[in-house]
Structure 1
Amino acid sequence: MTDELGARLKAYEGQDAAVAAEGKDPVNAPMIRHWCEAMGDTNPAYEGPDAKAPPTMLQVWTMGGLSGYAGGRTQAYDELLALLDEAGYTSVVATDCEQEYVRPLRPGDEITFDSVIESVSELKTTKLGTGYFVTTRMDIRVGPHLAGTHRFRILKYAPTRRRRQQKPALRPRPVVNRDNAGFWEGIEHHRLLIQHCTTCDTLRFPWLPGCNNCGGPDWTPVEASGDGTVYSYVVMHHPPFPAFDPPYAVALVELAEGVRMISNVVGVPYDKVRIGLPVRLEFQSYDDELVLPVFRALEEAG
């Protein structure tokens, strides 16, 4: 069967998605500080008179907020999305992004960017539904100089009609890759392992291929004691997902070693979780294959 819509969508490849758009604000120290505090990144390169922005902030400087930005999205990109909507592919989810860094951004830099519709996939069937992957490439500049490239991919899809489940849904599996495989091997053996940089003695979590403090690539695993406190938390009410039963609390737990990790707090109702609540590591089995670290409250929250 010929995919007539797919052929029409392919015609948009190579067309502009945004032209001569301008960043809402120059690269600035307050935004860098907020980012580093949220990420727990204490690299000294991101502060002081010679500060530079963390490379992964590349997309931050292009965000238009609620009011948009100068330049803006092109008619071609709007037409592409409208075609998908009219064909019933009305749902959208961001699937992944790729970034390439050419030069560091520093406070005071004013950025401009252009975006192109790089590719539209063939019709794909996923667990979410059937639809098309649309990839845009954004080139970010300071003056005439390229600072970096950001590729962003979305799936425009028609949701699959789900039948009533006959058995309990399995909890989603973690994504295991070469950078974090050792962590999940530790979990299988009921050990919570964090990384210790052998260059600067910094502990880090989540697992990374290099130290975010000194950039060193060498590290050794260290088993955490399991003691911690709730640093922050949110209560999830919506959207509902199979294998989860909202409302429930998702906490950012600060371990005794000083690193933080996200997990669930058990032993108290979701509305009794509070900042500063002392917790202790446990390992909870969700089915025959999946074990996850959770934290049990050590006192009843008032």
Structure 2
Amino acid sequence: MTYEDRLQAFVGRTITPRTPGQDPVNIPMIRHWVEAMGDPNPIYLADDAAKATGRPGVVAPASMAQAWTMRGYAASMDPAGAGPAQDLTALLAEGGYTSVVATDSDFDFVRELRPGDHVSAEEVVESISPEKTTALGAGRFVTSMRTYRDADSEVVATQRWRILRFRPKQATAPRPRPAINLDNQFWFEAANAHRLVIQRCADCATLRHPPGPCCPHCQSFAWDTVEASGRATLHSFVVAHHPKHPAFDYPLLIAVVDLAEGTRLVTNLVGVDAADVAIGMPLVLDWLDADADLTLPVFRPAQER
């Protein structure tokens, strides 16, 4: 069977069997949602307001349908939960389509959900496109239909969900720009001159990082800087493999380092393999000249210096 045949064999297949959400529709989650979305509609939290519109009581925002059935982080990391959806992801990765971006989502709402409703969802693959050339890279559009049901198996919503699984372009991309503002501009300007500085309170001499307008210890707004020695130890680290961004080399070592002066810094480790990294290892400062406008401090093992 060809690779294309193996992919198309998923069309029409249920990749997520009907699975109930972890919790029924409930007011606390609705409250978090509307606060995050800035939605002031009172029918979501006040019974009187909902009843005034002819509803029996509060209802959940329609767009929360998907939220009630999300598996959560722990379940997504459980190998026992692997199934057809993971099989399809693995097959796409086999073809080099290792990156993903959502392209569109079309909902059809049948009825409003109310507190106490227990929602379940199943997902069926509708189509997998031939390889397409996109701005992100060559990829395939995977379209599926999710059906949401209540405890009585009645359909409450459907969602046609389309994602692009793509092969990242290998061309070099500019490193993402940091968010520079009036409080941290001095730090990036010093870095561009290959100087690692630490903000210091001019009144109590407390060092602080990240930079900020006010000393957290004495609340003074007066400050100056001291230049770091460049010596550090590794406090913690992670090895990033995915999702990949063309501006970075992978595996990407992201670290929190303890500077000799006492503050911590989030940075990258260079000049070392992930297998050789150890918490507490001595580090020294190096510089990454990302481009003409951006230089960042990085650290390498002290013995490599």
Give the TM-score, by structure 1 length: 0.53
Please name the residue that 1:13 is paired with: 11
Q: Report deviation, 1:144.
A: 1.9
Show CA shifts across 1:105-137 (max 9, x none).
011101111110111111011111111111221
Within 2, Cα distance between the matches of 1:139 and 1:102?
11
Note the 1:1-80 alignment, pairs <5 A: 4-49=2-47, 50-68=57-75, 75-80=83-88
Q: Secondary structure at the match of 1:8?
A: helix
Q: Report deviation, 1:95.
A: 2.3
Within 2, Cα distance between the matches of 1:42 and 1:120?
39
Q: Report deviation, 1:153.
A: 1.9
* Runs of 5+ consecutive residues of structure 2 not aligned to the other structure: 48-56, 186-210, 215-305
- Cα gap change, 1:164 to 1:109, in 2 (>3 Å): closer
Note the 1:79-90 alignment, pairs <5 A: 79-90=87-98
Q: Report deviation, 1:267.
A: 4.2
Given residue 61 of structure 2, which amino acid in structure 1 is its aligned partner? P
Note the 1:202-241 alignment, pairs <5 A: 240-241=175-176
Conservation of the 8 A alpha-carbon contact between 1:19 and 1:74: no
- Cα gap change, 1:272 to 1:29, in 2 (>3 Å): same
The yes-or-no answer on 1:162 pairing with 2:77 is no
- Cα gap change, 1:113 to 1:128, in 2 (>3 Å): same
Show CA shifts across 1:15-71 (max 9, x none).
0011120101000000001111111111111112310000111110010102328xx
Give the TM-score, by structure 2 length: 0.52
Please name the residue that 1:269 is paired with: 184
Within 2, Cα distance between the matches of 1:15 and 1:21?
16
Within 2, Cα distance between the matches of 1:61 and 1:55?
11
Within 2, Cα distance between the matches of 1:112 and 1:74?
18
Note the 1:56-205 alignment, pairs <5 A: 56-68=63-75, 75-142=83-150, 143-163=152-172
Please name the residue that 1:207 is paired with: none
Within 1, Cα distance between the matches of 2:123 and 2:81?
9
Q: Report deviation, 1:74.
A: 7.2
Q: Secondary structure at the match of 2:167?
A: strand
Conservation of the 8 A alpha-carbon contact between 1:27 and 1:109: yes
Within 2, Cα distance between the matches of 1:64 and 1:79?
17
- Cα gap change, 1:30 to 1:125, in 2 (>3 Å): same
Conservation of the 8 A alpha-carbon contact between 2:75 and 2:81: no
The number of residues matched between the two structures is 176
Considering only aligned residues, what root-mean-square deviation do their CA atoms show, in Å? Answer: 2.6
Query: Which has the greater radius of gyration?
Result: 2
Aligned residues with identical type, % of pairs? 42
- Cα gap change, 1:93 to 1:273, in 2 (>3 Å): farther
Conservation of the 8 A alpha-carbon contact between 1:113 and 1:139: yes
Within 2, Cα distance between the matches of 1:108 and 1:145?
15
Within 1, Cα distance between the matches of 2:17 and 2:172?
44
Show CA shifts across 1:167-211 (max 9, x none).
xxxxxxxxxxxxxxxxxxxxxxxxxxxxxxxxxxxxxxxxxxxxx
Given residue 29 of structure 2, which amino acid in structure 1 is its aligned partner? M
Conservation of the 8 A alpha-carbon contact between 2:123 and 2:145: yes
- Cα gap change, 1:163 to 1:112, in 2 (>3 Å): closer
Q: Secondary structure at the match of 1:160?
A: coil
- Cα gap change, 1:158 to 1:89, in 2 (>3 Å): same
Within 2, Cα distance between the matches of 1:155 and 1:55?
25
Given residue 108 of structure 1, which amino acid in structure 2 is its aligned partner? G
Within 1, Cα distance between the matches of 2:213 and 2:148?
42
Conservation of the 8 A alpha-carbon contact between 2:102 and 2:164: yes
